[in-house]
Amino acid sequence: MIARWALRVIVAMLVGLTVVAVRSGAWAQSRPSIRAAALPSDVEVGQVFVFRLTAMVSVSDQPPDKPSLSLPAGFVLRGGPRVMPQTQVSITNGQMQQSVGIEVSWQVEARAAGRHTIGPASVLWQGKRFESGRVQVNVHPPGTLPRRQDPFDLFDIFGLPKMPGGFPDFPQIEEPSLPPPDPALAMAAPLARTVFLRAEVDKTDCVLGEQVTLRVYEYVSGGAPRQVEAHEPPAVDFLQRPLLSPDDEPPVRYAEVGGEMWRVRLIRKVALFPLKVGTLTVGPMDVDYQGAGLRARTPRHTTALQVRVANTPEQGRPVGYRAGDVGQFSLSSEVTPTAVEQGGSIAVTVKLAGVGNLPLSLDVPRRKGVEWLDPTTRDKTDVTDDDRVRGERVFTYVVRMLEPGAVDLGAIELPFYNPWHHAYEVASTRLGVVHVTPSAQPVSSAPEALDRFASVGPLRRELTPAPARSRLLTDSPLFWVGLAGGPAGVLLLGAAASVWRGARARVSAWRDSLRRHAAVALREAREAAARGAVGEAAAAAERALHIGLEASCGLKSRGVLRDDLARELQSRGIQQQQALLASEILSRCERLRFEPGADAGQATKLVEDLGNLLDALPRPRKAKDVSS
Amino acid sequence: MGRRRGTAALAAATVVAWVAVCAAQPRDSADLFHKGVESLAAGDYDKAVDAFEALADRGEASPAAAYDRGLAYLARVRGKSERPGDLGRAAAAFEEVLLVDPDDAEAEHAVELVRAEVARRRARRSEGEVQARPSLDRIVVGLAPEQVWAWSALVASWVLTAGLVLRKAPRGPRYLAGLIATPIGLVALLVFAPLAGYARHLRRTVHPAVVVVPEAPMLDASGAATGRDPVPEASRVELHEQSGDLVRIRYGTSEGWTHAAGVRRLRASW
């Protein structure tokens, strides 16, 4: 008994504890933790101070938003609210608790002296508005508030009077200042909660080969989501050059998005050089996030961007301009040595420098007796302060001098389109003159190996006629007739034979049909009646009636008693009048056959009645074969 | 009377002149050909080109003339006196030889060398290789000559006919053979007859041509740039129609308009 009571008490305690725990947990999650403060709480009239509100919730919840502050008379709002995302980690009893939320600041100016109460401030969370406590602020008349001692003012550390004409007072730091928001990154509304991406290009119209800079920003509000997977924005119609190295960590900036302050980080900066004209697309960048402020793995992506690429203008396009050579370039060169023996080689080093997509090759001046071999190239590129690709490409040519004398190598020219000047320009460098001394040994003008057509066949010296071409089969109508004629002929013949056989079968069936037999018997009866052969007419009429009945309803009436005949016929769908008439005609047939005094008129009447009856009998859907 | 006599004399003179022209035509072609051969052998490549081009203008379909014309253009390239488009014109000449005689191995080798040289030059100018992927219909039809498709269709028709006939036989080996031959012949006929017809259609409606400028731009019907890759020199294209100075060409699966002067229609296909 005692044990049972003890058990009940333990169960009740456990249930009570569970309810308390659940209710406390539910309460803990049912409202955010909100703190408010005025910094400082003692101000003079006309002084601006900060009213700060901090609202934190569990890391698994969405942070609060939409802060609001109501000010009493005597205070004027000078700025704010500025919303800063917050993340807090605390360890209580060995358990780590993480919370997210916002810290909101308003700049408030005191206008009336006295002891005032400000607030409450409030935030919106999960559809409900939660308020902070009220905050006391003491507003003193102007000049009555003791000056706060600056602990870092070495000149005032002992309360000494200030040096006349000395350093002016530094402004008092009332509140750790928020970083200034970047208006260029501001947005009217966030694209998603907690974290989103935004991509932009610095221009949407450009010419073929002109640099377009793509930037992708990551906006974060509250929490600390981390990237778990990222897919770069596809841009197959562009030559791409990343402007951020993996080691680069651009500074975090802040921007106002929908009235709140978001952290903004530049995560991609890519120089794009269009490879074709038309409307080209930069695809979306996809990033999956996880972590504080997000319930699960959350995908985010940028929107696709379009860039309209046009050809450079045709007007003024210099000869030798190659599509895509857009930028601002310069050429310089060095030739060593400038004196060489015939057949010897010199080195021509051409340095191409400038801003833009550096051309991959140069057109060298072709001169008689000067053979340019393929160059080796060396590149060095970096990025200007305004994110332009800048660099230099050094081409080193080996040039064979095959003819003696003072050989003017000419100049290397690079026509390009300058998008900043909207005009074509030509970078040029003169290579100068090389003095080639004659060689005693003959110099081959070009190595044999360079003749890439040496294996071409010999000259043909006879004007041979073109080989006769056989007429193609498909050009002959007979081919197509023959192609279809064989199978079609067989099929047509088969069909004709089938039709012939069917016709013959139908004729044969008609000949063998009961109705035909009945008609034949009836005709014989008529002929016998006409001849006056009464018995013969009656016999033929009886046969015609039996066959006609069988043809009409399938009844073999020879095996049926005459008294039962009318009933049997009615049971097979023959009308009563016709059934009775059939029975009567059979009786008359018997009488005529065996009555010696019967005359031809009775036989004729019988045959007529029989003919009418056979015509009136219903026709079966399908005639039955006599043999059946 | 005098007027009649004058008319008769004029008619006689016309007939005599016509007969003389007809008689002189082959001799002039042979003379032109030998003149071209001699110029080419002597290193006068320009004269050789002129002679062989004159032969082509006369409609001379001799593969030797077309082959030597290609050699003349190649000689200018080899002799460092190349003019723009020489490689393309050489390729066109060798392609004409192959149109007349598809088994001409020397012409096939020569045209391969020309295209390799064009590709090498494009690579030196850092211009990407332009891949011309033929469309599926061209690939399938090109698997065999038109004559092969035609004979295959004819054989398939015969097999189908025999199968249909044998199916009428009483049950036995002949009937069984008919059962087997009928579907085989039917399927083969349904495959080969359209192929033969499509090959004929392409032969009669599509005209081969070769690009004879360094690059043939792909334009739209109004002549504006489309942004598609230009067709490299010496590439074989299909000519579809002409509108003013523009011709509609097909290169692989890419279709567009280009300047008529940039492509040379192969003579043997006229």
CATH number at residue B85: 1.25.40.10
Instruction: Give residue for tokens 């034949």.
Output: A520
- Reply yes or no on whether the pLDDT at A168 is more than 80: no
Q: Would you say residue A5 has pLDDT above 60?
A: no
Name the band, by pLDDT with cuts 50, 70 and 90, for residue A360: confident
Whether residues B75 and B149 share a domain: the answer is no
Q: Tell whether B94 is covered by a domain.
A: yes
- Does the CB of A628 have a partner CB in chain B at under 8 Å? no
Please report residues of B whose CB lies closer than 8 A to that of A487.
157, 160-161, 164, 185-186, 189
Q: pLDDT category, A332, cuts 50, 70, 90?
A: very high
Dist. CA B237–CA B252, nearest whole Å: 8
Query: pLDDT-derived band of residue A180, with 50, 70 and 90 as boundaries?
Result: confident
In a domain, B163, yes or no: yes
Q: How far is B214 from chain A (nearest CA, A)?
A: 13
User: Among partner residues A311, A463, A482, which is closest to B64 by beta-carbon distance?
Assistant: A463
* Residue A558, pLDDT score: 87
Distance CA A550, CA A628 (A): 11
With cut-offs at 50, 70 and 90, classify the pLDDT of residue B252: confident
CB within 8 Å: B161 and A486 = yes
| Gap between the Cα atoms of A331 and A388, Å rounded | 19
Establish if B70 belongs to a structural domain. Answer: yes
- Of B79, B100, B124, which closes a domain? B124
In a domain, B88, yes or no: yes
Total structural domains within chain B: 2
Residues B164, B182 contacting (CB under 8 angstroms): yes
Q: Which residues pair with A371 in a beta bridge?
A: A400
- The Cβ of residue A570 has, within 10 Å, a number of other Cβ atoms equal to 15
Residue A448 sits at the chain B interface (C-beta within 8 Å):
no
Helix, strand or coil, per DSSP, at residue A523: helix
Residue of B147, B186, B268 lying closest to A472 (CB–CB): B147
- The closest alpha carbon to A253, from A219, A301, A290, A227, belongs to A219
Residues A330-357, mean pLDDT to the nearest whole number: 90
3-state SS, residue A498 = helix
Mutate to test the interface with A, among B40, B44, B81, B106 (most CBs of A within 10 A): B106
d(CA B158, CA A548): 55
Cβ-Cβ contacts under 8 Å for B38 (sequence gap 6 or more): none
pTM of the model: 0.42
Element (H, E) at A425: strand A423-430
Residue B157, strand partner residues: none
Residue B255 belongs to a domain: no
**Do B49 and B146 share a domain, yes or no?**
no
Q: Mean pLDDT over residues A492-515, rounded?
A: 87
pLDDT tens, residue by residue, B55-86: 888 887 788 999 999 999 999 888 877 888 89
Q: How far is CA B196 from CA A471, A483, B101, B111, B148, in A?
A: 14, 11, 21, 28, 8
B12 and B111 assigned to the same domain: yes
**Residue A155 pLDDT grade (very low, low, confident, very high; cuts 50, 70, 90):** very low
Contact A83, A102 (CB under 8 A): yes
Show which of B204, B229, B258 is a domain's final residue. Answer: B204
Torsion of CA A586, A588, A589, A595, to 10 degrees: 150
Instruction: Sort out which chain A residues have CB atoms less than 8 A from B94's CB and list them.
Output: none
Residue A543 tokens read as: 């046969």
Q: In order of start, what are the domains of chain A with their CATH numbers?
A: 31-140 (2.60.40.680), 183-310 (2.60.40), 327-437 (2.60.40), 514-616 (1.20.120)
Of B244 and A206, more confident? A206
The residue assigned the tokens 């209580």 is A92
| Beta-carbon pairs below 8 A across chains A and B | 118
Nearest to B44 by CA among B69, B64, B72, B67: B72
B150 within a domain of the structure (yes/no): yes
What is the pLDDT, as a whole number, of residue A345? 87
Same domain membership, residue B193 and residue B93:
no
Q: Between residues B102 and A335, which one has the greater pLDDT?
A: A335
**In the listed set B204, B232, B260, which residue is the last one of a domain according to the structure?**
B204
Q: Are residues B162 and B120 in the same domain?
A: no
* Higher pLDDT, residue A467 or A572: A572
φ, ψ for residue B163 (rounded to 5)? -60, -45
Residues B78 and B38 reside in one and the same domain = yes
End-to-end CA distance of chain A: 100
| B61 in A contact zone (CB under 8 Å) | yes
Interface contact flag, B116 A475, Cβ < 8 Å: no
Lowest mean pLDDT: which of A7-11, A229-233, A518-522, B41-45?
Answer: A7-11
Res A424: pLDDT: 92
N-to-C CA span, chain B: 48
> Do residue B117 and residue B146 come from a single domain?
no
B160 with B58, same domain?
Answer: no
Handedness of CA A298, A303, A304, A310 (dihedral sign): negative
ipTM surpassing 0.85: no
State whether B144 and B113 are in the same domain: no
Give the structural domain span for B196.
Answer: 138-204
Assess B68–A contact: CB distance below 8 Å, yes or no.
yes
B119 and B183 share one domain? no
The partner residue sitting opposite B113, judged by closest CB among A452, A460, A479, is A452
A320 touches chain B (CB under 8 A): no
pLDDT at A608: 92
Give domain status of residue B256, yes or no.
Answer: no
- State how far the Cα of A222 lies from the Cα of A481, in Å rounded to an integer: 82
- Does the pLDDT of residue A93 top 70, yes or no? no
* Average pLDDT of span A180-204: 88
Q: What is the pLDDT of residue A103?
A: 84
Domain-located, residue B187: yes
Looking at the fold, whether B94 and B151 belong to one and the same domain comes out as no
**Cα–Cα distance measured from residue B137 to residue B132, given in angstroms and rounded to the nearest whole number:** 14
Mean of per-residue pLDDT scores for chain A: 81
Question: Does residue B104 share a domain with residue B142?
Answer: no
Residue A554 has pLDDT above 60, yes or no: yes
Beta bridge partners of A300: A287
Ranking A131-140, A482-491, B13-22 by mean pLDDT, the lowest is: B13-22
Strands in chain B per DSSP E: 207-211, 215-216, 231-232, 236-243, 246-251, 254-259, 263-265
Q: Give the closest-approach CA distance of B12 to chain A in angstroms.
A: 33
